[in-house]
Amino acid sequence: MRENNQPPTAHKTLHTVMHEHMQSGSLFTRAIEHALAYLRKVDDRSVAPDPQALAALEGLNGPLPEGPGETAEAILDQLASLGGPATTAQVGGRFFGMVNGGILPPALAARLLADSWDQNAVVYAVSPVNSRLEEICQRWLIELLSLPEQTVAGFVSGTSMAIVCGLAAARWRLCERLGCDINAAGLAQAPRLRLIASRHTHSTVIKAVALLGFGTDSIEYVDVDAQGRLRPEALPALDETCILILQAGNVNSGSFDPIRPCCEAAQAAGAWVHIDGAFGLWAEACPNLRHLTDGLALAQSWSVDAHKTLNAPYDSGLSLCADPEAMVAALQNSGAYIPTSEHRDGMLYTPEMSRRTRAIDLWAALRFLGRSGVATLVEGLHARAQQFETELKQAGFTVLNDVVFNQVLMDVGDDMETDAFVARVRASGEAWIGPSRWFDRPVVRISVCSWATTPADVTRAVAAFSAARDQQ
């Protein structure tokens, strides 16, 4: 176990030291042991790191070493002992912040294996295994999410980037229909396109609009109902210059825009529809929740995360597009040295060129769960959210939203009271929640997004909320 414990010194070249690590494997065994020690105890520790753990992070600081000195084992041990306690217990059952998602063990294990292959997902010639798994995952996703059969998937870092891809493909196609090659002409010479989104559209949609140079002032915002759903009757007149951005899963309430009527209006006008379904698109894979995404296949592009609801490892997002020509044209890239082929060359569908092999862990996740396993996972998140609603009400809390998916919004008072409540809950170590704003009022937001959350975790979290309220 400790045979590589000598610092690399003059008599051993760096190459020799690293070669010995590869051959002996003890460094990697040690990493796995640290990882297992963490995973086994994650539910016993405070969900938020305690103040001492945060202070101890300074131990990782110091001047840039002049050269090799410490052993790799010592470095790894330091990371485990100082870094591990300064994580939030996201892989445990009581992290309810953001919309994060836990981690499926088979996907994590596949990731550990694939990381040691260190493949570049760029093209088939460089990583045939990834390329083939991208094709397989694409086919499975089309089936699970009931997408048009020609849909292409880009394996990107997350929904933020998937939205950029979807809007770029939309722009390319709408301009092309109007006789303009947007790639060559640029926005200054292009026909003016209209961007239409609900007032509750996600901040990353607004970011994508800014990044692509449309200008956020140009967004035509559409009113929403009390659950934060776009009101179809409030849509402006659509035409062939419009990109309509819908939401499957409001980041606060979890509500879904009425997809079918909006898509039908867009279709009649020749407009493009992009659906941001970062966490909610997976409703389509569930018999009990599919009503939420009715009409989804009428859109032209979709963005969804594998790292949220599906519980795949970070970072893993999917850009899906029913117009492959538009997607490839919008993300065009070529070079004399890039060996593209008749096989699937993943970089044609992503903004990045070099990438990690996200399809490998996604494949493991989908293969492990299968169709009914995905439904069980997603419906379980919904059931836990409903349990939150029931138990919160029983404990005297006010729940503000209809719990249609995995999100629960609580009213605990004004801004100061909300911030203090959140801080007390986090300090208790019992659960991790975040504050948000809902129709201009402060709220506490609970997002159930990990397979690891059990009914007992929900009850324990509600008890912690009651204690935090009574502590006031």
- Counting contacts by CB under 6 A, is residue 357 touching ligand PLP? no
Q: What is the spatial distance between Cα 229 and Cα 214, in angstroms, rounded to a whole number?
A: 24
In single-letter form, the type of residue at position 132 comes to R
In terms of CB distance, is 138 or 159 closer to ligand PLP?
159
- Counting contacts by CB under 6 A, is residue 103 touching ligand PLP? no
3-class SS of residue 227: coil
List the interface residues with ligand PLP, window 238-277 (CB under 6 A).
Answer: 249, 251, 276
3-class SS of residue 228: coil
Q: Which of 92, 258, 317, 346 binds ligand PLP (CB under 6 A)?
A: 317
Q: Which of 42, 47, 89, 99 binds ligand PLP (CB under 6 A)?
A: 99
In terms of CB distance, is 204 or 350 closer to ligand PLP?
204
- Counting contacts by CB under 6 A, is residue 49 touching ligand PLP? no
CA distances to 114, 346, 361 from 307, in Å: 17, 19, 10
Helix 203-211 vs helix 159-177: crossing angle, to nearest 10: 50
As measured in angstroms, the least distance from the Cβ of 159 to ligand PLP is 3
In terms of CB distance, is 160 or 319 closer to ligand PLP?
160
For residue 6 the two structure tokens come to: 């000598």
Contact 91, 101 (CB under 8 A): no
Q: Which of 209, 278, 410, 452 binds ligand PLP (CB under 6 A)?
A: 278
As measured in angstroms, the least distance from the Cβ of 281 to ligand PLP is 10
Q: What is the spatial distance between Cα 213 and Cα 221, in angstroms, rounded to a whole number?
A: 18
Helix 455-470 vs helix 415-428: crossing angle, to nearest 10: 120
| DSSP bridge partners of 407 | 447
- Counting contacts by CB under 6 A, is residue 284 touching ligand PLP? no
As measured in angstroms, the least distance from the Cβ of 111 to ligand PLP is 17
In terms of CB distance, is 251 or 446 closer to ligand PLP?
251
As measured in angstroms, the least distance from the Cβ of 302 to ligand PLP is 11
Contacts of 58 (CB under 8 A, 6+ apart): none
As measured in angstroms, the least distance from the Cβ of 257 to ligand PLP is 11
In terms of CB distance, is 426 or 445 closer to ligand PLP?
445
- Counting contacts by CB under 6 A, is residue 345 touching ligand PLP? no
Q: What is the spatial distance between Cα 21 and Cα 12, in angstroms, rounded to a whole number?
A: 13
Number of Cβ atoms within 10 Å of the Cβ of 85: 17
- Counting contacts by CB under 6 A, is residue 409 touching ligand PLP? no
In terms of CB distance, is 27 or 446 closer to ligand PLP?
446
Contacts of 366 (CB under 8 A, 6+ apart): 137, 140, 141, 144, 374
In single-letter form, the type of residue at position 369 comes to L
Helix 105-117 vs helix 358-394: crossing angle, to nearest 10: 150
List the interface residues with ligand PLP, window 204-223 (CB under 6 A).
Answer: 204
- Counting contacts by CB under 6 A, is residue 450 touching ligand PLP? no
List the interface residues with ligand PLP, window 148-167 (CB under 6 A).
Answer: 158-160
In terms of CB distance, is 94 or 274 closer to ligand PLP?
274
As measured in angstroms, the least distance from the Cβ of 276 to ligand PLP is 5
- Counting contacts by CB under 6 A, is residue 202 touching ligand PLP? yes
Q: What is the spatial distance between Cα 368 and Cα 457, in angstroms, rounded to a whole number?
A: 24
As measured in angstroms, the least distance from the Cβ of 27 to ligand PLP is 32
In single-letter form, the type of residue at position 178 comes to L
- Counting contacts by CB under 6 A, is residue 305 touching ligand PLP? yes
Q: In which region does residue 295 sit, left (phi positive, over 0), alpha (psi from -120 to 50) or beta (all else)?
A: left
- Residues found near ligand PLP in the complex (CB under 6 A): 99, 158-160, 202, 204, 249, 251, 276, 278-279, 305, 317
